[in-house]
């Protein structure tokens, strides 16, 4: 086969062109992205009390924007809700489970000034 034959040039050109595209697609000139991931740090709000955080397990009896009432093995326990933790707690979700005994809740709370403030509430298996 002669190099001057038109069909021969096309057959030699196709693999060369494919190799060039392959090299370019494989990142011959790879550039690192210029974006940075910034993780914000949480700053406590004045409405959020600070103190030793602990938890209580039980059945949720009621929930509103002011307090959560949990039935534990020791009896009914009340946890206040601060404005800072309102969004984290998901009061409407908690209200939908209040009074049920097929699901329990773990309330994490802090004690401050003689009061207990709910920080988080998570569903758990029935605790007792």
Residues 44-79 pLDDT 10s = 434 444 556 699 999 999 999 999 999 999 999 999
Residue at 45 is within a domain: no
Q: What pLDDT, on the 0 to 100 scale, is given for residue 48?
A: 47
Q: Is 17 left (phi over 0), alpha (psi -120 to 50) or beta?
A: alpha
Asked if 24 and 62 sit in the same domain, the reply is: no
Closest CA to 48 of 118, 128, 96, 107: 118
Residue 98 lies in a domain: yes
Q: Is the pLDDT of residue 12 over 70?
A: no
Residues 6+ apart with CB under 8 A from 104: 57, 58, 59, 60, 123, 124, 125, 126, 127
State how many domains the chain has: 2
pTM of structure: 0.58
Q: Which domain holds residue 76?
A: 53-124
Q: How far is CA 64 from CA 21, 32, 82, in A?
A: 63, 49, 11
Residue 109 contacts by C-beta under 8 Å, 6 or more apart in sequence? 53, 54, 55, 56, 79, 116, 117, 118, 119
Instruction: Please say if the pLDDT value at position 81 is more than 50.
Output: yes
Residues 57 and 15 in one domain: no
102 domain-assigned: yes
Q: Please check whether residues 58 and 93 belong to one and the same domain.
A: yes
CATH value at residue 112: 2.40.50.140
């Amino acid at each position: 086969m002669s190099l001057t034959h038109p069909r021969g040039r096309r057959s030699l050109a196709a693999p060369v062109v494919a190799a060039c595209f392959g090299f370019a697609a494989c990142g011959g000139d790879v550039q690192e992205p210029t974006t940075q991931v910034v993780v914000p740090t949480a700053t406590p709000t004045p409405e959020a009390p600070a103190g030793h955080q602990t938890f209580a397990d039980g059945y949720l009896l009621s929930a509103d924007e002011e307090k959560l009432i949990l039935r534990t093995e020791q009896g009914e326990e009340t946890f206040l809700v601060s404005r800072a933790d309102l969004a984290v707690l998901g009061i409407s979700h908690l209200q939908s489970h209040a009074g049920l005994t097929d699901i329990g809740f773990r309330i994490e709370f802090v004690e401050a000034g003689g009061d207990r403030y709910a920080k988080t509430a998570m569903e758990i298996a029935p605790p007792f």
